[in-house]
Amino acid sequence: MNAPFNKSADLFLKYVDLKSRLSQEVPFLSNTFGAYQCKNLIEFGCGAGAHSAALAKAGFMIMATDYSDRLIQEAKTYTNESMQVEKADLCQLPELIQKQKYDGAYCIGNTLLLLPDSSMLKKALTNIHSILKPGFPFIAHFINTDLCSEEKNRFGPIRSFPHEDGGELMLVKSFFPEYSEHHPGVSLMAIHRKESGESVVLEHHQNHFLDISPQDFSQMAKDVGFKNIKLLKNFSTDTFDPEKDISLTMVLEA
């Protein structure tokens, strides 16, 4: 599959507040996989690989995968004896990955919502189920698209950096409830706010999201063989509330 995320990868990498994400997300991943006594894990859609690198450091054996050449190149900088990095499309796994069985898998940061349609999502879930040992966990994480349309959830925090030509570089992330053909979407805009006060849009990237409710996702996961599905509030052990929680973490057993 073509990797449309390649185009916006650098801007998204700059936008992500990695320090705060890792401090919340890695302990959850590590505790959950630890509770199942997992040893070898696989990440799908690893991006620049920071979560996988942190889990490798925590003692797991990691296979980190993504389909974007640009991001694989970044993730490879973390390669060591506990972490391997390979290019892999979730919807069409390479043989190297297909013939292995893993103790755990994770796919976080909306990767699953970037798949082109629900048949591809089903294919991806089938693939993930097929490489897991029975009873072992898959952790999925994505936003609750039903809540994107609410004013308070429409914008991510604005991030600001000094611009090399003076003034500041502002990164603005927003969600669209109906970006295209009634699908939700995400947009990231880089704006140069000059010292003079003038603002210039430097880059603007948009990606569509699959519009799938947590209930429909759970049903699809059951259909491909997952069981004991838990819906949790963003990387916590609290139960997910679809009316309130903007982000959802699921733990599913193969």
Ligand X SMILES: C[S@@+](CC[C@H](N)C(=O)[O-])C[C@H]1O[C@@H](n2cnc3c(N)ncnc32)[C@H](O)[C@@H]1O
Does residue 202 interact with ligand X by CB under 6 A?
A: no
DSSP letter string, 176-224: EEEEETTEEEEEEEEEEE-TTS-EEEEEEEEEE-----HHHHHHHHHHT
Element holding 120 (H helix, E strand): helix 118-130
Cβ proximity to ligand X: between 3 and 246 the closer is: 3
Q: Give the interface segment with ligand X, choosing from 39-47, 174-182, 236-244, 246-254 (CB under 6 A).
A: 39-47
Q: Which is nearer to ligand X, 210 or 231 (CB)?
A: 210
Beta strand 159-162 with 137-143: parallel, antiparallel or unpaired?
A: unpaired
CB atoms within 10 A of CB 208: 17
Question: Is residue 184 part of the contact set for ligand X (CB under 6 A)?
Answer: no
Using CB under 6 A, count the residues that bind ligand X: 21
Find the binder of ligand X among 15, 47, 62, 137 (CB under 6 A).
47
Are 31 and 97 in contact by the 8 Å Cβ rule? The answer is no
Which string of b and e fits 111-141 if b means at least 16 CB within 10 Å?
bbbbbeeeebbbbbbebbbebbeeebbbbbb
Concatenate the DSSP letters of all residues of 158-189 into one string. PEEEE-TTSSEEEEEEEEEEEEETTEEEEEEE
Q: Which of residues 52-71 bind ligand X (CB under 6 A)?
A: 66-68, 71
CB of 1 to ligand X, least distance (A): 5
Question: Minimum distance between the CB of residue 157 and ligand X, rounded to whole angstroms?
Answer: 15
Nearer to ligand X, 26 or 115 (CB): 115
CB 203 within 8 Å of CB 189: yes
The structure tokens 């004013």 sit at: 151
- Residues 10-29 binding ligand X (CB under 6 A) are 16
Binding flag, residue 91, ligand X (CB under 6 A):
yes
Stretch that binds ligand X, among 55-63, 111-119, 228-236, 244-252 (CB under 6 A): 111-119
Minimum CB distance to ligand X, residue 85 (Å): 12
Rounded CA-CA distance 220/124 in Å is 11
CB of 49 to ligand X, least distance (A): 8
Using rule CB under 6 A, residue 42 touches ligand X: no
Give the whole-angstrom CA distance, residue 66 versus residue 229: 25
| Minimum CB distance to ligand X smaller for 105 or for 192 | 105
Closer CB to ligand X, residue 114 or residue 190?
114
Residues in contact with ligand X by CB under 6 A are: 1, 3, 5, 16, 44-47, 66-68, 71, 89-91, 108-111, 114-115
